[in-house]
């Protein structure tokens, strides 16, 4: 009964959103043709004059969408010696306020219009783009899934035709295929991220323009304000699912599947060179499952012993706060089955931190407790660690990004108010193209500065810890620039041995910040030099 109710609710919600979107599209096309004002007209460029004969109000729901609008019939005269012709004008071109006076009109877009600017004509092109974007999303989701949202009987028919699922066995051995992000092609993920971002912002711009146009002409028309929701919801939804979509696309766009097995003897894998590896159950401390957006789960393995990781294949040796990260992309159903198998074999060996209530001290939740600890350390003079992202943007770049956002917002507001600001659009486009071309292309990671050590943690690689007592100096050197960005290498001069490179390419702002925040070394160590 619960499944039937859920399917019915999903179907009603899907049909409602589809109907609202269709009504919103019709409203969008109506708003695209409305004039900038209905309180006057311009003599310059007019093709004739119109005398209103009759007006009728339509709404709140019609073939022109949602909201109220006027449609008027007027006699149009194109010259003093020419006869008049009766013309039905478009929505809100003329209003009852024009009765008894002549209105200058012109013939444009194969129709008669009030001779004033029509600033929202671009919505006529935006509408099909929005419809195409929604259609592409439906295609990406899958026509079958889309139809099952609308027609619950198809879902029930699928369940009838399919053989009933047998309960998954909880006995060992169990074969696993763990996706790991080592060398997968990320082009598809980047393209999808750009598409979701552009389409989501496009929906929001359309909704904002509809609201602005309605506020100018009919500020009391609440229905038209509500009809902007079909554009707001997809826009917000697309932007909200970006993290989940990126995780899923990293799996489908080329993440390697590493085979492994859970047997009564332990966690077995095969290295890339064919060498069999195994960690016995006696050395396994815990399997940790951390849920992430998109029904994906990070699986971590905690091992006992200093050299226990020798039994792990190289793709599984990424250190994490729970031990070692086996995979960040395991589907939720497979993760729950894996957890059940482990618990069935050895109870208490799994943990789901995201399903626990994390408390500490006098019942304080973890964020509050960490804040109290930081304040206590600050008042007691304890030096806390400092973190520097290798891709840290410079102050100039952050300023340019803020100015670009302001220009973009300003240009959209100006366009929605009835004035075409192409110069602002062009300037913003140039700035955004520059920012996109000069994206960070160095090492992805972060420096962690502690009281006695420096840690370099690069993405998908083991972290490197350097004790200040074991080195003579840390040197920052310039490297070849690229695409308008400056990069630096971070080199370490050890007390014994040759100088080596800690990070090959980091941003200029990160290098300067590293120089400014590096902790004091012993008296025998020289000061940090910047050879830029």
The confidence score (pLDDT) of residue 288 equals 93
pLDDT at 482 over 90: no
d(Cα 50, Cα 87) in Å, to the nearest integer?
A: 9
Q: What is the pLDDT of residues 267-277, one digit of tens each?
A: 998 877 778 88
pLDDT-derived band at 255, boundaries 50, 70, 90: low
pLDDT-derived band at 519, boundaries 50, 70, 90: very low
What pTM value is reported for the model?
0.43
pLDDT at 521 over 50: no
Question: pLDDT higher for 530 or 51?
Answer: 51
Q: What is the pLDDT of residues 148-207, one digit of tens each?
A: 777 776 555 555 444 444 567 888 888 888 887 654 445 555 666 777 777 778 778 777
Question: pLDDT higher for 493 or 372?
Answer: 493
- Both tokens of 482, joined, read 């690229």
* Of 156-160, 362-366, 385-389, the least confident: 362-366
pLDDT-derived band at 308, boundaries 50, 70, 90: low
Say what percent of the chain tops pLDDT 90. Answer: 9
The confidence score (pLDDT) of residue 73 equals 94
Rg (CA), the chain: 32
pLDDT-derived band at 71, boundaries 50, 70, 90: very high
pLDDT at 31 over 70: yes
The confidence score (pLDDT) of residue 504 equals 87
- What does the mean pLDDT of the chain come to? 76
The confidence score (pLDDT) of residue 89 equals 92
pLDDT-derived band at 520, boundaries 50, 70, 90: very low
Give the pLDDT mean for 125-147.
67
Give the pLDDT mean for 277-305.
86
Give the pLDDT mean for 44-60.
89
The confidence score (pLDDT) of residue 421 equals 59
The confidence score (pLDDT) of residue 306 equals 66
Give the pLDDT mean for 51-61.
88
pLDDT-derived band at 373, boundaries 50, 70, 90: very low
pLDDT at 289 over 90: yes
The confidence score (pLDDT) of residue 378 equals 47
Q: CB burial class (10 A; 0-12, 13-18, 19+) of residue 3?
A: exposed
SS3 for 366? helix
pLDDT-derived band at 51, boundaries 50, 70, 90: very high
Greatest C-alpha distance within the chain: 104
The confidence score (pLDDT) of residue 19 equals 81
Contact call for residues 146 and 138 (beta carbons, < 8 A):
yes
The confidence score (pLDDT) of residue 361 equals 40
Task: Identify each DSSP E strand in 382-427 by its residue range.
Answer: 386-389
Q: What is the pLDDT of residues 418-436, one digit of tens each?
A: 565 566 667 777 777 777 7
Task: Identify each DSSP E strand in 445-508 by its residue range.
Answer: 445-449, 453-458, 464-467, 471-482, 485-494, 500-507
CA 81 vs CA 105, 416, 502: distances in Å: 17, 40, 88
Q: What is the pLDDT of residues 313-346, one digit of tens each?
A: 888 888 888 889 888 888 888 899 999 999 988 8
SS3 for 494? strand
Question: pLDDT higher for 234 or 368?
Answer: 234
Contact call for residues 322 and 302 (beta carbons, < 8 A):
yes
pLDDT at 363 over 50: no
The confidence score (pLDDT) of residue 50 equals 92
CB burial string 503-526: b at 16+ within 10 A, e below: bebbbbbbbbbbbeebeebeeebe
The confidence score (pLDDT) of residue 160 equals 47
pLDDT at 3 over 80: no
Give the bridge partners for 61, in sequence order: 66
């Amino acid at each position: 009964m619960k499944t039937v109710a859920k399917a019915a609710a999903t179907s009603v919600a899907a049909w409602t959103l589809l109907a609202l979107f269709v009504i919103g599209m019709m409203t969008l096309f109506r708003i695209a043709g409305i004039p900038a004002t209905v309180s006057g007209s311009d003599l310059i460029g007019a093709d004739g004059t119109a005398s209103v004969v009759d007006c009728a109000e339509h709404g709140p729901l019609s073939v022109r969408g949602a909201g109220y609008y006027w449609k008027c019939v007027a006699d149009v005269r194109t010259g003093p010696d020419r006869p008049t012709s009766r013309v039905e004008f478009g929505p809100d071109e003329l209003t009852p306020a024009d009765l008894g006076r002549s209105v200058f009109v012109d013939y444009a877009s194969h129709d008669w219009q009030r001779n004033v600017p029509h600033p929202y004509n671009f919505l006529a092109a935006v509408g099909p783009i929005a419809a195409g974007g929604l259609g592409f999303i439906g295609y990406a989701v899958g026509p079958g899934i889309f139809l099952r949202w609308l027609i619950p009987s198809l879902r029930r028919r699928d369940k009838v035709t399919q053989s009933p699922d047998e309960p998954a066995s909880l006995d060992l051995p169990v074969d696993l295929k763990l996706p790991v992000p080592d060398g997968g092609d990320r082009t598809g993920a980047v393209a999808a991220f750009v598409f979701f971002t552009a389409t989501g912002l496009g929906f929001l711009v359309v909704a904002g323009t509809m609201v602005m146009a309605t506020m100018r002409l009919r500020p009391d028309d609440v229905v038209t304000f509500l009809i902007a929701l079909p554009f707001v919801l997809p826009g917000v939804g697309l932007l909200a699912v970006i993290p989940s979509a990126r995780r899923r696309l990293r799996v489908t766009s080329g993440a390697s599947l590493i085979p492994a097995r859970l047997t009564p003897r332990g966690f077995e894998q095969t290295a890339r060179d064919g060498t069999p590896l195994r960690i016995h159950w006696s050395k396994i401390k815990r399997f940790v499952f951390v849920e992430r957006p998109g029904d994906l789960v990070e699986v971590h393995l905690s091992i006992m012993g200093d050299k226990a990781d020798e039994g792990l294949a190289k793709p599984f040796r990424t250190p994490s706060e729970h031990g070692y990260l086996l995979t960040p992309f395991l589907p939720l159903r497979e993760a729950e089955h894996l957890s059940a198998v482990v618990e069935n074999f050895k109870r208490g060996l799994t943990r789901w931190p995201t399903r626990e209530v994390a408390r500490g001290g006098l019942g304080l939740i973890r964020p509050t407790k960490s804040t109290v600890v930081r304040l206590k350390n600050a008042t007691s003079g304890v030096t806390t660690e400092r973190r520097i992202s290798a891709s840290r943007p410079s102050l100039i770049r952050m300023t340019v990004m803020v100015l670009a956002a302001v220009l973009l917002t300003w240009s959209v507001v100006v366009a929605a108010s009835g004035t075409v600001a192409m110069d602002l659009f062009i300037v913003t486009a140039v700035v955004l193209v520059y920012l996109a071309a000069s994206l960070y292309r160095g090492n992805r990671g972060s420096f962690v500065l502690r009281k006695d050590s420096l840690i370099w943690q690069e993405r998908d690689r083991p972290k490197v810890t350097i004790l200040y007592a074991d080195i003579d100096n840390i040197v920052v050197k310039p490297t070849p620039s690229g695409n308008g960005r400056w990069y630096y290498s971070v080199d370490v001069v050890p007390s014994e041995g040759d100088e080596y490179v800690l990070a090959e390419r980091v941003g200029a702002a990160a290098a300067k910040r590293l120089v400014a925040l590096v902790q004091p070394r012993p008296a025998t160590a020289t000061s940090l030099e910047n050879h830029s």
